[in-house]
Structure 1
Amino acid sequence: MGNRRGNERSVRDYADSDMEMMPRLFALLLIVLEWTRPGLPSPLRPICDLRVLDHFIKEARDAEAAMRVCKDECSVGVSLRVPLTRVDFGVWEKKNMEEQAREVQTGLWLLNKAISSLRTSISNSALHSHLDASIRNIASIGQVLRSLSIQDYVPTPGGIDIQETWRVSSALELFQVHINFLRGKVRLLLANAPVCQQDVS
Structure 2
Amino acid sequence: MGNRRTSGTNLEDPARGYADAAMEFPRLLTLLLIVLEWTRPGLPSPLRPICDLRVLEPLILEARDAVVAMKSCREGCRLSESVTVPQTAVEADVWSKKTALEQAQEVQSGLWLFQQALNLLQTSVTNVALHNHIDNTIRNLLTINAVLRSLNIQEYTPPANVAELQGTWRVSSATDLLQVHFSFLRGKVHHLLVDAPACHQAVS
> Could you state the TM-score of these two structures normalised by the residue count of structure 1?
0.85
Determine whether 1:175 maps to 2:178.
Answer: yes
Deviation at 1:162, TM superposition (A): 4.9
Please say if 1:67 is aligned against 2:74.
Answer: no
Q: Which amino acid aligns with 1:115?
A: L
Give the C-alpha shift of residue 12 in structure 1. Answer: 2.0
Deviation at 1:41, TM superposition (A): 4.3
Output aligned runs, 1:1-201, within 5 Å. 9-27=12-30, 41-158=44-161, 161-201=164-204
Distance 1:142 1:78 in 2: 26
| Worse overlay, 47-56 or 14-23 | 14-23
| Partner secondary structure for residue 77 of structure 1 | coil
The residue type paired with residue 201 of structure 2 is Q
- Quote the Cα distance in structure 2 between the aligned partners of 1:34 and 1:197: 15
Q: Percent identity?
A: 54
Deviation at 1:83, TM superposition (A): 0.3
Q: Using the alignment, how far apart are the partners of 2:59 and 2:66 within structure 1?
A: 11
Q: How many Å separate the matches in 1 of 2:37 and 2:80? A: 45
TM-score if structure 2 supplies the norm length? 0.84
Equivalent position SS for 1:78: coil
3-state secondary structure, aligned to 2:83: strand
Q: CA separation in 2, counterparts of 1:140 and 1:25? A: 9
Query: Where does the alignment leave 5 or more consecutive residues of structure 1 unmatched?
Result: none
The 1:33/1:19 distance shift into structure 2, 3 A limit, reads same
Other structure's SS at 1:21 match: helix
Deviation at 1:119, TM superposition (A): 0.7
- Looking at structure 2, the residues matched to 22 and 10 of structure 1 have their Cα atoms a distance apart, in angstroms, of 19
Higher helix proportion: 1
1:33-66 superposed Cα distances (whole Å, 9 cap, x missing partner): 989xxxx942411110111111110110111111
Q: What's the CA shift for 1:141?
A: 0.6
Does the 8 Å contact 1:104/1:185 carry over to 2?
yes
1:166 deviates by: 0.7
Compared with structure 1, are the counterparts of its residues 198 and 162 closer, same or farther at alpha carbon in structure 2 (3 Å cutoff)? closer
Distance 1:190 1:71, change over 3 A: same
Q: Structure 2: give runs of 5+ residues left out of the alignment.
A: 1-8
Does the CA contact (< 8 Å) of 2:69 and 2:130 recur in 1?
yes
Residues in 2 aligned to 1:109 and 1:28: alpha-carbon distance in whole angstroms: 20
* Deviation for aligned residue 1:115: 1.0
Distance 1:175 1:73, change over 3 A: same
Q: Contact between 1:109 and 1:154, CA under 8 Å: does it hold in 2?
A: no
Higher mean alpha-carbon deviation, 120-129 vs 96-105, is at: 120-129
- For the 8 Å contact 1:63–1:130, the answer to whether it is kept is yes
